[in-house]
Amino acid sequence: MNPLADALITPLASQNNTVLIRHDHKEISGIELYLLTSQIANVLKDSGVEPGHRVAMQTEKTVEALALYLGCLRAGALFLPLNTAYTPAEMKYFIDNAEPTVVVCDPKSEAALSEFTKPRGLKLLTLDSFGKGSLNDQILKAGTTFTNVARVPDDLAAILYTSGTTGRSKGAMLSHENLLSNANSLCEAWHFNSDDILLHSLPIFHVHGLFVAINVLMKAQGKIIFLPKFNVDQILEFLPKANSMMGVPTFYTRLLSDGRFTRNLTKHMRLFVSGSAPLLSETHRAFETRTGHRILERYGMTETTMNTSNPYDGERRAGTVGFPLPGVEARITDEKTGAILKSNEIGILEVRGPNVFKGYWRMPEKTKTEFREDGFFITGDIAQIDSEGYVAIVGRAKDLIISGGFNVYPKEIEIKIDALEGVMESAVIGAPHPDFGEAVIAVVVCAKGKITTAEKIQSALKVNLSNFKCPKAIFFLEGLPRNTMGKVQKNELRKQYEKTFHKK
Ligand code: MCA
Ligand code: AMP
């Protein structure tokens, strides 16, 4: 038994029909993809990967990268996908923390990454955006049969890093059961079956693109139009071939701002799903007015995969994330006392179910503080459940910015800004942004008698920090607003700078 491989990968072996359609229109059959996963599982085994070992990947989105995920499942390894925007300095932390046996990277970052993979004796393989590189060289020489490594539902399948309020990233450990139970629930909830063709333009290094989109379509044995990234022209080109799409709100606002995205173009579509960040009610309404489709919004987290979803058949209510998925329990508690609140009361959202992760990698103490004694996981999202059971996310207790679906924890950036020459302190906040929903801005106080500039700060940050985390605007103040306890009043700053990205 290998729960995920049995459910998602084994059926490919007898699928002669197309399962993936690439951006260049090349079609890949189930059998071809299955063969590739066998070869990759053999490459991993020959590279010393044993069950439970980690395999890290920071590459562009290719069929080979997807097959690496599937090959890891078959080999009993833990897949560790990493954002392509991470700089080598950021990558070093993940590699030190997760200690993968194999790291697969883009050839462009091979030299930088080998500086720390080599001394640690880790195997570094490359995979470029055309699927070529040293991983592919080994694939070509590898055996084409592989017997899946046996796994039980509680065994880990993946580690996905999520940043934290302390600025240190934590690896969320997800088991076979976590991922499979969610894929099963979503297939049922969203009526996916083998007739479906999903337009896939999300990255595959996060839960949304990988475990929601890929696992669900593979479980349903549907087809995936597998695009390297979100690009409006490409979406418009492939929409007529698809019947469903999943995306972050930025995808939908970008499509709406293009006149070619019409009711006619979307009339054959069965489903549009949104998640990872709040979908504004105005976007929900504008989408319906333009296309006649009501976007189905759902809610999840790296630690839990999907928790709630608006109904497929019932009312998809704008501004809500629907009902808990089958098997998932949700409740609202008082942030300070932990007391369970009644319907319509606002508090912290807690969830429990087979989807909830096994804890943070090598952080047992941190894991403990995020769970209640009765097994509920404290999400850190502020929510409300109405008398009909609809969950609405109304805010966040955690200091988190979600920009275009990517999470940014202010602390990580504040630490970096505060360490710069001429800076006394800083506060990093999110400001409403027409494209990204929220964008990162920094408010900086210069050190006494010293002066620095926004340009200096930007260029210093860009050396080691992912682009999406770098502030899109920097402001200077004489001092940060604080309450009587000395805590920085970020709400005041958010109000002061809320119009930063307003369209003129
Ligand atoms: C790119 N940039 C960004 C972002 N993406 N800045 C802030 N936020 C971003 N998300 C930077 C670029 O580096 C560039 O910087 C500038 O902004 C303009 O980039 P642009 O070309 O417009 O961006 P893009 O390449 O088109 O990407 C935008 C995107 C992408 C398509 C929205 O960010 C994306 O695919 N987001 C999806 C994220 C996602 O999958 N999240 C799911 C997480 P410069 O000008 O300096 O070069 S999973 C999750 O949250 C949970 C579990 C859930 O519920 O799903
Ligand atoms: P991550 O840790 O990257 O998985 O991000 C999870 C966070 O994204 C959640 O805790 C929420 O704050 C947010 N999120 C995901 N989906 C939604 C949604 N539909 N509406 C509002 N926030 C969301």
- Regarding the beta carbon of 297 and ligand 2, being less than 6 Å apart is answered yes
Considering every ligand atom shown, identify the ligand nearest to the alpha carbon of residue 321 and give its number.
2
Do the domains 3-151 and 400-497 sit in the same CATH topology, yes or no?
Answer: no
Residue 504 has pLDDT above 70, yes or no: no
Percentage of residues of the chain with pLDDT beyond 90 = 97
- DSSP string over 397-411: SS--EEETTEEE-HH
Q: How many whole angstroms separate alpha carbon 425 and alpha carbon 144?
A: 57
Average pLDDT over residues 406-416: 95
Cβ atoms of 75 and 53 closer than 8 Å: no
Strands 244-247 and 197-200: parallel
Atom of ligand 2 nearest to the CA of 321: 19
Strands (E) in 255-312, as ranges, are 271-274, 296-301, 305-309
Counting every residue, how long is the chain? 504
CA of 229 to the centre of ligand 1 (A): 10
Q: Which ligand 2 atom is the nearest neighbour of the CA of 207?
A: 4
Average pLDDT in the 419-444 region?
97
Angle at 155 between CA 158 and CA 38, to 5 degrees: 65
- Topology of the domain comprising 3-151: Rossmann fold (3.40.50)
Residue of minimum CA distance from atom 15 in ligand 2:
276
Ligand 2 neighbour 164 (Cβ under 6 A) = no
Q: In what order do the strands lie in the sheet with 329-333?
A: 329-333, 347-352, 377-385, 391-396
402 C-beta closer than 6 A to ligand 2:
yes
378 lines ligand 2 (CB under 6 A): no
pLDDT confidence bin for 503, thresholds 50/70/90: confident
Q: Is 292 helix (H, G, I), strand (E, B) or coil?
A: coil
CB count, 10 Å around CB of 22? 16
Alpha-carbon separation of residue 118 from 92, 102, 115 (angstroms): 12, 11, 6
Nearest CA to ligand 1 atom 10: 404
**Of ligand 1's atoms, which has the minimum distance to the CA of residue 212?**
55
Task: Report the separation in Å between the CA atom of 10 and the middle of ligand 1, taken as the mean of its atom positions.
Answer: 33
CB 405 near ligand 1, within 6 Å: yes
Residue recorded with tokens 């008698």? 449
CB of 406 shorter than 6 A to ligand 1? yes
Give, for ligand 2, the residue of 299, 306, 308 to mutate: max count of ligand atoms closer than 8 Å to Cβ: 299
- Is-contact 303 172, C-beta < 8 A? yes
Atom of ligand 1 nearest to the CA of 304: 52
**Ligand 1 pocket, 433 CB below 6 A?**
no
The secondary structure of residue 119, as a DSSP letter, is T
The rounded distance, in Å, linking the Cα atoms of 124 and 118 is 8
Query: Average model confidence (pLDDT) for the chain?
Result: 97
Task: Tell me which ligand sits closest to the C-alpha of residue 277.
Answer: 2
Whether ligand 2 lies within 6 angstroms of the CB of 64 is answered as: no
Q: How far is CA 323 from the centre of its chain?
A: 21
Domain boundaries of the chain, sorted by first residue: 3-151, 295-397, 400-497
What predicted TM-score, i.e. pTM, was given to this entire model? 0.97
CB atoms within 10 A of CB 112: 15
Q: Is 49 helix (H, G, I), strand (E, B) or coil?
A: coil
Pocket lining: 208 vs ligand 1, CB cutoff 6 Å: yes
**10 Å Cβ neighbour count for 438?**
20
> Within a 10 A sphere around the Cβ of 57, how many other Cβ atoms?
24
Pairing of strands 223-226, 197-200: parallel
CA 405 to ligand 1 centroid distance, Å: 6
| Tokens encoding 462 | 């860009």
Q: Tell me if 398 CB under 6 Å of ligand 2.
A: no
Report CA-CA distances (Å) from 203 to 292, 466, 494. 27, 15, 29
pLDDT in tens, 10-62: 999 999 999 999 999 999 999 999 999 999 999 999 999 999 999 999 999 99
pLDDT tens, position by position, 98-114 = 999 999 999 999 999 99
The pLDDT score that the predictor gives to residue 163 is 79
- Atom 5 in ligand 2: which residue has the minimum CA distance? 301
Q: Say how many Å lie between the CA of residue 231 and the centre of ligand 2.
A: 23
85 CA closest ligand 1 atom index:
13
Q: Are strands 437-446 and 423-433 parallel, antiparallel or unpaired?
A: antiparallel
Pair 252, 282: CB distance under 8 Å: no
Distance CA 45, CA 34 (A): 17
- pLDDT score for 168: 81
Residues 6+ apart with CB under 8 A from 422: 446, 447, 450, 451, 452, 456
Judged against a pLDDT cut of 80, whether residue 167 lies above it is answered with no
Give the DSSP H/E element, type plus range, for residue 348: strand 347-352
Does the beta carbon of 436 sit less than 6 angstroms from any atom of ligand 1? yes
And the tokens for 246?
């999943």
Percent of the chain scoring above 70 in pLDDT = 99
C-alpha dihedral sign at 230, 236, 241, 244: positive
Q: How many angstroms separate the alpha carbon of residue 54 from the centre of ligand 1?
A: 26
Provide the 3-class DSSP secondary structure of residue 189. helix
Nearest CA to ligand 1 atom 41: 405
Q: Specify the pLDDT at position 383.
A: 98
For ligand 2, atom 6, the nearest C-alpha belongs to: 301
CATH superfamily for 295-397 is: Luciferase; Domain 3 (2.30.38.10)
Q: What is the pLDDT of residue 97?
A: 97
86 lines ligand 1 (CB under 6 A): no
Residues 6+ apart with CB under 8 A from 341: 331, 332, 333, 334, 347
Tell me which residue of 317, 199, 319, 188 sits closest to 269, measured CA to CA: 199
Task: Quote the DSSP letter at residue 322.
Answer: B
Pairing, β 406-408 against β 401-403: antiparallel
Quote the ligand 2 centre to 302 CA distance (angstroms). 8
Burial class (CB in 10 A: 0-12, 13-18, 19+), 193: exposed
- Ligand that lies nearest to the alpha carbon of residue 201, given by its number in the listed order: 1
Ligand 1 atom, smallest distance to 305 CA: 52
Q: Which CATH superfamily is domain 400-497 in?
A: ANL, C-terminal domain (3.30.300.30)
Given a contact cutoff of 8 angstroms between Cβ atoms, the answer to whether 148 and 5 are in contact is yes
pLDDT tens-place string over residues 311-355: 999 999 999 999 999 999 999 999 989 999 999 999 999 999 999
Q: How far apart are CA 176 and CA 3, in angstroms?
A: 6
Give me the residues paired with residue 309 across strands: 298, 323
pLDDT in the model for residue 132: 98
Residue 374: Cβ-neighbour burial (10 angstroms; 0-12, 13-18, 19+)? exposed
The predicted-structure confidence for 231-240, as pLDDT tens digits, reads as follows 999 999 999 9
Distance 406 CA to ligand 1 centre (A): 6
Q: 């999470």: which residue's tokens?
A: 407
- Check if 162 has its Cβ closer than 6 Å to any atom of ligand 2: yes
